[in-house]
A and B are shown apart, each in its own frame.
Chain A
Amino acid sequence: MTTTGLNDRVAAKREVRRIKNLPTVPGIVAKISRLVENPETSAAEVGRLITQDQVLSAKVLRMANSAFFGMSRKISSIAQALMILGFDVVKGLVLTSSVFDMIQKSMAGLWEHSIGCAAASGAVATALGRDDAEEILVAGLLHDLGKVVLALNMPEEMDLIKSKVESDNVLFYEAETAVMDFHHGEIGQWLAEHWNLPESLAEPMRLHHNPERAMVQPECTAIVHIADSIIRGWGFGYAGDPWVPPISPAAWEMLKLKGKDLPEILNILEPKLANLSELTQSGS
């Protein structure tokens, strides 16, 4: 039984790769990655590359100026965004901007869930007093990319999963596991490998439902995991089922969070969510 399950799983994985179900990495992201790999590259060069695409630059600046980051000064250029937010965060925003249409198309409410989870990840990181809140926020933004691939590239499985969520009252990832023997976390991992994303994004994508298995970025993964439950509890956006997934007590304890931290996290989150409405409209 186990062997069959494993074989099916491997076959399914091969299937996913073989039929090229994975979208190609957005051209601009590949170019930035190549540029950034070279230690000689200056911020100005990366800025010039991004600025070549004006629609993309506008989207990146809109996110950089959104309530996510709570900047008191307006970031008016990509060069300034690179200076204030850093390479990794801007690269994450470029990536998010270039897959924005894909996320919008995949599932009603998933974009809202993604930006909500990003804001919640930032809120948890801030409550913990971490100085890498911006990086963790980007991981929250992209954590459900596996669902996007599933919705857009595996429509038959998607239909089966949706009916299972409704008929069996289960969480989306439980329905995925029942139907395919893997879930969007693993699809996200394949995508991350295919796109050469850093572990700080790849591990939360893969393990946000199993944070205790994270080896490379356990804290970042635990934060995105908790943020996911908080934003589902809040009722902001839609991620495929109407339920709040349980928070792993191990992840909670690893971050040394206490029950009294919850109201503080919600207080940090509330004004951010109120200000995210400008990111929920499609268009430029």
Chain B
Amino acid sequence: MKRISVEHAQPGQILAQKLQRSDGVLLAGQGSEVTEGLLRMLTRMNIDSIVIEEENKQTPEELEETFQNRCAELEGRFARVTGLPLMAALKAALIDRARRERDEALAAILPAAEEGAAQ
């Protein structure tokens, strides 16, 4: 997810977080699609930024490569604390997150029939 300014927002993007008016009234739910009408309304209400899901244009191979690079960077950062159980647990939790992100991105680009095949 990333925060972008309303002027750069495009219809068709997906909201990663719900949009609320300053008094708490819900304008659009998480997961809903950005429309021309919504953008006009936000401009009128002086709301200047929204949080959208990042579009994924990566191929499965590129996603795997990104994941492997992130793991390698993590190993590098943790190189001085190997053998400490607490730090091993932190590293494992961070690797799990990276793996889950890869899997979610894979699930989003793979046809439904192949769902579940991604590890």
Hey, which bits of chain A sit against chain B, CB under 8 A?
A: 72-74, 76, 169, 171, 229-230, 232-235, 242-247, 249, 252, 259, 262-263, 266, 270-271, 274-275, 277-278
- Residue from A244, A262, A278 in contact with B77 in the complex, judged by beta carbons closer than 8 Å: A244
CB distance from B93 to the nearest CB of A (A): 4
How long is the Cα–Cα vector from A85 to B90 in the complex, in angstroms?
31
Interface SS, B side: helix
CB distance from A278 to the nearest CB of B (A): 6
A278 touches B22 (CB 8 A): no
Contacts of B93 in A (CB 8 A): 262-263, 266
How long is the Cα–Cα vector from A247 to B91 in the complex, in angstroms?
12
Question: Other CB < 8 Å A-B pairs besides A244-B77, A270-B97, 11 of them?
Answer: A72-B24, A73-B23, A232-B77, A233-B90, A233-B91, A233-B94, A244-B81, A259-B86, A262-B90, A266-B93, A274-B51
A266 touches B1 (CB 8 A): no
Hey, which bits of chain B sit against chain A, CB under 8 A?
A: 1-3, 16-17, 20, 22-24, 49, 51, 73-74, 76-81, 84, 86-87, 89-91, 93-94, 96-97
A263 touches B49 (CB 8 A): no
B76 touches A72 (CB 8 A): no
How long is the Cα–Cα vector from A150 to B22 in the complex, in angstroms?
41
How long is the Cα–Cα vector from A73 to B24 in the complex, in angstroms?
6
Contacts of A278 in B (CB 8 A): 3, 49
A72 touches B77 (CB 8 A): no
Q: Do A171 and B80 contact each other (CB < 8 Å), given the known contacts A73-B23, A271-B1?
A: yes
Highest count of chain A CB atoms <10 Å: which of B22, B51, B90: B90
Contacts of B16 in A (CB 8 A): 274
Contacts of A235 in B (CB 8 A): 73-74, 77
B3 touches A244 (CB 8 A): no
How long is the Cα–Cα vector from A262 to B92 in the complex, in angstroms?
10
CB distance from B79 to the nearest CB of A (A): 7
Q: Do A249 and B86 contact each other (CB < 8 Å), given the known contacts A262-B93, A263-B96, A271-B17?
A: yes
B51 touches A275 (CB 8 A): yes
Contacts of A232 in B (CB 8 A): 77
A246 touches B1 (CB 8 A): no
How long is the Cα–Cα vector from A106 to B84 in the complex, in angstroms?
32
Highest count of chain B CB atoms <10 Å: which of A171, A233, A271: A233
A242 touches B22 (CB 8 A): no
Contacts of A263 in B (CB 8 A): 93, 96-97
CB distance from A236 to the nearest CB of B (A): 11
How long is the Cα–Cα vector from A72 to B24 in the complex, in angstroms?
6
